[in-house]
Amino acid sequence: MRSGGKANSFPETTLALYTDGITEAFSPHREEFGEERLVEALRRHRSLPPCELLSSVVDEVRRHSPPRAKRRHYADRREVPAPLKESGGKTLPQPQG
């Protein structure tokens, strides 16, 4: 999408933003998690609230690519945006972990 452009959204639409740290996460057998697995995971968990959807997908990536000793694993740091607020100013719950 170009800057200043519009994007149509439809009810029940999920927008997933991710980095190559997800799709390029390797299994112990050197197999990437890949976009296909990511899409399948998103479809499997699409009925969950956003924070639970995020946690479920990260859990699948962690099972696919367990952390190795003496190496910082991408999933050891979860980058979550600043707390979101509803229109009434109530802070929405953030993922745990």
Task: Give 87 or 33, the one with higher predicted confidence.
Answer: 33
* pLDDT for residue 71: 44
Task: Give me the phi and psi of 76, to 5 degrees please.
Answer: -75, -15
- 0.75 cut: is pTM over it? no
Per-residue model confidence as pLDDT tens digits over 40-90: 999 999 999 999 999 999 999 999 998 874 444 444 444 444 444 555 555
Residues 24-46 have a mean pLDDT of 95
Residues 1-10 have a mean pLDDT of 65
Question: In sequence order, what are the beta bridge partners of 52?
Answer: none
Question: In sequence order, what are the beta bridge partners of 29?
Answer: none
